[in-house]
Amino acid sequence: MQELTHFLNGQQNKGTSGRFADVFNPATGEVQSQCPMASVDETTKAIEDAAAAQVAWGATNPQKRARVMMAMVGLMNRDMDKLAETLSREHGKTIPDAKGDLQRGLEVIEYCIGAPQMLKGEFTDSAGPGIDMYSMKQALGVVASIMPFNFPAMMPLWHVGPALACGNAVVLKPSERDPSVPLMLAELFVEAGLPAGVFQVVNGDKEAVDTLLDSEIIQGVSFVGSTPIAQYIYSRATANGKRAQCFGGAKNHLIVMPDADMDQAADALIGAGFGAAGERCMAISVAVPVGEETADRLVEKLVPRIERLRVAPYTDGDDVDYGPVVTREAKERIMGLIQSGVDQGAELVVDNREFSLQGYENGFFVGPHLFDRVTPDMDIYKTEIFGPVLSCVRAGSYEEAIGLAMDHEYGNGTAIYTRDGDTARDFASRINIGMVGINVPIPVPLAYHTFGGWKKSMFGDLNQHGPDSFKFYTRTKTVTARWPSGIKEGGEFNFKAMD
């Protein structure tokens, strides 16, 4: 049985708490390694060592920090296959999905190469007689990142990259379900030239998380996960005087107008609803066709596409559409919600409750499901399922369709499929959701824009990556400077001349 480590002060460190979490192979259900759970003392020591290392790193000029990011890009590309295989083995994603996870994280590291430009301050010459005024963007100090299981490469890189580029030290608490890739990324950062101790990886559970939240050294906290935990972390972090950005759950709607290209919309829903087994905060889990005829046409297009989906381990090749979900508990939760949909009266059009994969009967596989005639009072509509389940909610009009998305408590992402520009513009303007797709099913912004939802999908004032990340990980200091002129007489300053 492999025993994983923490990554502290530039090297792997065995845990000393004596507590471990099992890391499963989702395809077989077998335990493949054990992840150490850090104690309060271990976590505190990691924070203190990060603070000591941050002093020199924060004083390093932005151009040199950017060179570390540049080297990191090359190293990640060099090791892409190895990273992807490790990610797939622990998470269950297909290799193409794993490489997509890595690529979207890599794009943020590429963006961070521009740190010197992003960290420039402002300057005003002669704001007053002999007075100059300028601002500086300085690192917070030590920050914490508490990351989810569903994107074990992308999410840490989205937060760690900008934080490091700004001159902070980072203590990362990855998910204990798939911690190996974050540990590998930490090693690559050191190989890229990052000083030891500036990036610490502490595996753990609530004990480690609460230590991070309560530490007087930690100045900022970023989190991605479920809404209840996001609310908890945001409340505790801000109560302790920390800056916090916490991203929670989602229930993303895709509205299909009668004039939409129905084949294009159906293909989009297959990829957005079932890719990565639906374990994405930007997954489309609700299709909203406008009008009965539109709904009938859409369902007719969806059914054969869903039935053709190939569910298998990542080792079965690149033609696998998706693999298992991450744990047995996740599978049981998803199956419970599917049954609730049946019990509450939704029409289960594609039913794979008895799905089983020969040779992998103990794996955490969930077959694809399609519900029709779902209503907003049902649990499968209200709850983020985080699995391969697509719900069809029929709307009688555009106004009813847009109202469904606007009234839901989550506001992460949404999309509309239409050929009508006026409808698309109205949708983009009115919708109270953070990320909008127009004929784009998963509207994830590129690295030089920002990513973030509204309502109960996000707690805090600044989004992930893009310009917001450099704002979040720095503080602005404004200096007003006055230099006396022409007041030196006989080798001494005439201080009256300064009055």
* Catalytically active residues, by annotation: 281
Query: 307: how many CB neighbours lie within 10 A of its CB?
Result: 11
Q: How far apart are CA 317 and CA 469, in angstroms?
A: 37
Q: How far apart are CA 29 and CA 23, in angstroms?
A: 10
Contacts for 311-317 with beta carbons within 8 Å, 24 or more apart?
311/355, 311/357, 311/365, 311/366, 311/367, 311/368, 311/388, 312/357, 312/360, 313/27, 313/92, 313/360, 313/363, 314/27, 314/88, 314/89, 314/92, 314/93, 314/94, 314/95, 314/98, 315/27
Cβ atoms 276, 283 nearer than 8 A: yes
Pairing outcome for strands 369-372 and 347-350: antiparallel
Find the radius of gyration of the CA atoms of the chain.
25
In degrees rounded to 5, what are phi and psi of residue 414?
-160, 165
Q: Which amino acid is at 249?
A: G
